[in-house]
Structure 1
């Protein structure tokens, strides 16, 4: 193996933020090496001087005082995790220790994608330790456990599994830990990577987790026996596993009287059915099974379609595509521009399409009700699955009518009832505390 100093000097050409500085520590002259972008070098050097360095100190004593460990060029990735390397003057010896981190994080902020009235205005942040601290401060329990995992693929990624040792479902915990331990040598950069690590198929419509950026929501799930996965660099918590109740309930509901809480949850459940079935039902009744309509309603529908060149199925398909494009186009725009696009797409464009006799006004009404109902759910990401299945039901309804509508809905029911993540059924409505020993 070549001299450590020579190896490091070779890679400085490709890493402009790699800092190499000569330091005189007592009787020893050493080389100070770190990434200036992730380590505050000035504070770290001050920390070294305050660790009890004397004029007669030796290189080995410096290593002991700084709680260092032996280092080699095989551990080069440690530098990117905030560690500092001290090399002997000849470059033949090296040890590393934890440096003082540079300030890379933003200030605490309120949630951007989730809203809970009168809830603490604090959201998860990118640093892993900060997110663990938010949970510990909010929960304050001696039974709170945080187990660390490292994924060493193309880039090293740190993750922490957080759970309540007294309330956690042991079967769930064992399976999740097993999946994470087996994937130690894999990449963890995207949600798809995490789904693969947790044993899900590429073709699964529902992921085994849901994301939340609100610590209170994550803690609520943990108190019901679930586990939380925090990943360094991501301002969200992954709650495992995803359950049907996550589509219609949130922790904030419990701030209200019991009857109002149930009323809100039944309203969201009704919104799910309206969002999923209304467009397909309209297409089925108007284009395939008009004989099922009352004569008054049939005449009203017929009069609204006078002069419309497109069949009902193509009307609905066209407007569904336009609405999805409008929703997607506003997700990554600045809020001021997104509001303008929404007005243009929702009001101006809708009115112009009806006036141009391309679609009937009834289709606009049905689709508006369906799209509005889609966003009655607590978590925006959960609406993506509903929007996809809604399009599939519209296609089946346009081909087979009411039979296709019910066939599609029953198929979806069978599909979600057979989903099971980590031994917990997706449609489980039980408290995990009751399932803990099962």
Structure 2
């Protein structure tokens, strides 16, 4: 019997004549369907012969042999998925009657690739930029000799941090899981809590070079469509090389650039994001960071914590009132001390005035310089404690504050009362739940100190009026920043500074929610 010669592994209509001399490919697309070895050489040349780019060449079939190649990046792709795909190609593909009648790519797609995520990339000429984006995102590309068809196999599987308790938002009661740097893990944490077909995840990529994956998340019948469109429009206008953290996005979509107060909320807690989604807000997830952005963000939003809804209403109300009080203490305590001791000594009781005068008798600086020196010193200690290794950071802050404070008093540089004032101010600033709002207070505090040193209590009052006017002028995606206080919305006061019981919170925020502004009514508990 005459021995058969193996035929090439491509359909006849896809076979292209191989030129004797192929010119170097300069364009981003191959204008003709070149042999597999030319496509592999172009990939190696474009990517720079990187050692982590794995190109596994293989031959498919037993009697009729087809050349193919799998391209993936070591460290980004899941090797178990790739191993299963290659095993199916090398072992399961057999010479069958179907192979005689159809293209090999159809055979592999329909009968051999047992993978959940598969996309067929077919273009003449082949778009290699599309292939590179897929490979560098952790997927695997399967190429065939002489064919413009390529398979994109979902094989993302890089190492990532597991789900842990959020380090920046500690709660006594409530869930202990937090977002991670993997956007797929983060979307799963949200889906676990919202089993609703109206939950929408809109993917978007930003960054000319990083092509960072992002997701706009909202509940379709709860979110305001105008705000959703505004979020889409602002994100689409971002033109930047790379997005490394959600702070990049926050700075480019916020309403007011020249304001110390944040207008975009960020959190590591899935329950806080889900609570915002149930109120009609929109979340923005960014791959590579555990911090999720939530908009619109109101001033009172930064004074609240997700734990407020896990405690009884009276306890939560007391804690919120405490936060508002400590916010004012952190903002005004040094300024009030400077104003009273410099301009308004008559406001103090005689005994207290004599005590303060005796303490300041040996201090060579005015009250403003004294307070400025202590505030700057404490800010240095606080920043040093954050940047130091965790094992010694807290010790540096505590020991430094004690030693420097005591030494400064004994040296006569500051009075003991000033140490108490600065300490009370610093402790009060830590009560604010959100770090970015606490930083805003730390910046504005120095302005109030300057006004108090120049004009006394009159300067503080003027500063407060300007501050309130500034807060009233701010917007977060079109929503007034001081809502529900300015404009005053009576129904929304139930979840402002005072939190009523959950059974009485039957409506969502008026200016944030969309079509369905009424929550499911809960019966009042009764024995």
Q: Under TM normalisation by the shorter chain, which class is it? A: over 0.9
2:93 aligned with 1:53, yes or no? yes
Q: What's 1:35 paired with?
A: 73
Q: Any unmatched runs of 5+ in structure 2?
A: 1-24, 31-37, 114-118, 485-491, 493-506, 516-527
SS of residue in 2 equivalent to 1:150:
strand
Question: Structure 1 segments of 4 or more deviating over 6 A?
Answer: none
Contact 1:148 / 1:160 at 8 angstroms: preserved in 2? yes
Contact 1:59 / 1:88 at 8 angstroms: preserved in 2? no
2:80 aligned with 1:25, yes or no? no
Task: After superposition, give the CA deviation of every residue in 1:106-143 in whole Å (9 maximum; x if it has no partner).
Answer: 22211111112221110001111110100110222222
Q: What's 1:124 paired with?
A: 179
Contact 2:75 / 2:158 at 8 angstroms: preserved in 1? no
Task: After superposition, give the CA deviation of every residue in 1:59-106 in whole Å (9 maximum; x if it has no partner).
Answer: 43366345421352222222111222223346x746241342234112
Matches of 2:228 and 2:241 in 1, distance apart?
20
Task: After superposition, give the CA deviation of every residue in 1:295-323 in whole Å (9 maximum; x if it has no partner).
Answer: 33221211111211221111111111111
Contact 1:4 / 1:72 at 8 angstroms: preserved in 2? no
Cα–Cα, structure 1 residues 55 and 38, in superposed 2: closer, same or farther, change >3 Å? farther
Aligned Cα RMSD in Å? 2.3
2:361 aligned with 1:306, yes or no? yes
Matches of 2:302 and 2:145 in 1, distance apart?
61
Select the residue among 196, 206, 213 that pairs with 2:268.
213
TM-score between both structures, scaled by the size of structure 2: 0.77
TM-score between both structures, scaled by the size of structure 1: 0.92
Cα distance, 1:388 vs structure 2: 0.7
Q: What's 1:351 paired with?
A: 406
Matches within 5 A, 1:122-271: 122-183=177-238, 187-191=242-246, 193-198=248-253, 200-271=255-326
Q: Any unmatched runs of 5+ in structure 1?
A: none
Number of residues of Structure 1 aligned to a counterpart in Structure 2: 437
2:456 aligned with 1:401, yes or no? yes
Q: Which has the larger radius of gyration?
A: 2
Matches of 1:185 and 1:345 in 2, distance apart?
42
SS of residue in 2 equivalent to 1:50:
helix
Stretch deviating more after TM superposition (71-80 or 198-207): 198-207
Cα distance, 1:360 vs structure 2: 0.5
Task: After superposition, give the CA deviation of every residue in 1:194-222 in whole Å (9 maximum; x if it has no partner).
Answer: 13542534423233311111111111111
Matches of 2:276 and 2:164 in 1, distance apart?
22
Q: What's 1:78 paired with?
A: 134
Cα distance, 1:190 vs structure 2: 4.3
Select the residue among 100, 107, 120 that pairs with 1:68.
120
Matches of 2:336 and 2:510 in 1, distance apart?
40
